[in-house]
Amino acid sequence: MVFYCSTEKIASVVRDYEGVKRKHAIGEMVKAIRIDTPDVMASFGEDAAVIRHGNEALLLAADGIWSKLMEADPYWAGYCSVLVNIHDIAAMGGKPIAMVDVFSISDNSIRKLVIDGMHDASSQFGVPIVGGHLHPDTPYSVIDVAIIGVADVDSVIYSHTAEEGDQVVAAIDLSGRVHPSCFLNWDSVTMKSASYVRAQIQLLEQLGREHLVTAGKDISNPGVIGTLGMLLEVSNKGATIDLAGIPHPDLKENNISFEQWVRMYPGMGFILTVKEKNTAEVCSRFSSVGMTAKVIGTVDTTKDLKITYEDQESLVFDFSKNGIMRLFTGPGDCV
């Protein structure tokens, strides 16, 4: 492993990363708008809301694309607007069904590029865009997408259900490249066939149906450590992870540092918690679809996320005081 930073440096890099800090406002919004209803089985803090519909669960999610990405590469922004939504449904153990979009555009020169990216991702993953809304005269350019998926009620993979003693598994497709337009994006999808990426998404459905994982999230803007932090926060748990266990490509060959890697959006990647008896099977399943899955730590009840490397140990987050999404009003009080 190419590793140049201390654990304290990595902890600081993750805490101060804008991809983590921009999640802080979520808790305040949740407190203001949350209304509990009997058919909503899960909502805030999950990758998708879970709504009971007979014996099935409807999965509803939405994602907006960071304006910095839109400015850097409109095509990749459009592609990612579809990709991240499909990941949200997959991370819940669901099958993505269809999407709608809200497109606000101030610069017509980028419209075609964004739409081309959305179309190509939609076609590659086999999930249609079926409607939406266009704002053709806004002073900014933004793309937002919402998605619906479905799963059996008892097959949903939640974020809030990690248990003490579970092993933390990171699964990432390392076959890719640093995206030329965004040094914090690892593109492991655009060069792959439709059958290849669809098999990766469908694997999460299988893991959910077979109850092989206890909790999961797709690795998003906060990176691998930040995403694990979000899962632990809603599970009201802690964990200690070994940085040496985190899957990564050849850092020297790709001209990236480890502190850059742990902040990267990995294209195709998931954080899961798994019973020890199931970890070998889960890792093998990911390997069969071209993803590298490794045990990187263990869930505990401390409400601390700690990282270790050799003889070093550092605290990244203390969820009893302040989390990433800040969904807690105090120790143990989830709103």
Q: Where are the domains of the chain?
A: 7-24+158-334, 47-153
Residue 32's pLDDT is 54
Query: Does pTM surpass 0.75?
Result: yes
Sign of the alpha-carbon torsion through 25, 157, 294, 88:
negative
Q: Does domain 7-24+158-334 have CATH number 3.60.21.10?
A: no
108-125 and 194-209 helices, crossing angle to 10°:
60
Predicted pLDDT at 330: 38
Hey, what are 317's tokens? Answer: 């987050």
47-153 has CATH 3.30.1330.10 classification: yes
User: What is the maximum span of the chain, computed from C-alpha positions, in angstroms?
Assistant: 57
The pLDDT value given to residue 93: 98
Q: Which pLDDT belongs to residue 211? A: 98
pLDDT at 320: 86
Q: What is the model's pLDDT at position 136?
A: 86
pLDDT in tens, 145-180: 999 999 999 999 999 999 999 999 999 999 999 999
Tell me the mean pLDDT per 10 residues along the chain, length 335. 72 75 58 68 87 94 84 93 97 98 87 95 98 88 95 96 98 97 94 98 98 97 93 95 96 93 95 98 98 98 95 92 61 33
